[in-house]
Amino acid sequence: MLTSEQLAKSGTEQGEQVALLQWCALQRAKWPELTLIFAIPNGGTRNPIEAARMKAAGVKAGVSDLFLPVARDGYYGLFIEMKRKGGKASPLQLEFGRAVTNQGYAFHVCDSWQKAAEVIKDYLTAK
Instruction: Break the chain into its structural domains and give their ranges.
Output: 4-125
What pLDDT is stored for residue 48 in this prediction?
85
Per-residue confidence at 60, pLDDT binned at 50, 70, 90?
Answer: confident
What pLDDT is stored for residue 4 in this prediction?
52
Indicate the angle between helix axes 113-125 and 13-27, nearest 10 degrees. Answer: 40
- May I ask the CATH architecture of the domain 4-125? 3-Layer(aba) Sandwich (3.40)
Per-residue confidence at 7, pLDDT binned at 50, 70, 90?
Answer: low
What pLDDT is stored for residue 115 in this prediction?
97
CA distance 39 to 55: 17
What pLDDT is stored for residue 9 in this prediction?
57
- Long-range contacts (CB closer than 8 Å, 24 or more residues apart) made by 83-90: 83/13, 83/16, 83/109, 83/110, 83/111, 84/11, 84/12, 84/13, 84/15, 84/16, 84/111, 85/11, 85/16, 85/111, 85/112, 86/111, 87/13, 87/111, 90/62
Per-residue confidence at 96, pLDDT binned at 50, 70, 90?
Answer: very high
Mean pLDDT rounded to a whole number for the chain: 90
15: pLDDT strictly greater than 60: yes
82: pLDDT strictly greater than 80: yes
Instruction: Determine the average pLDDT of the residues in 109-126.
Output: 97
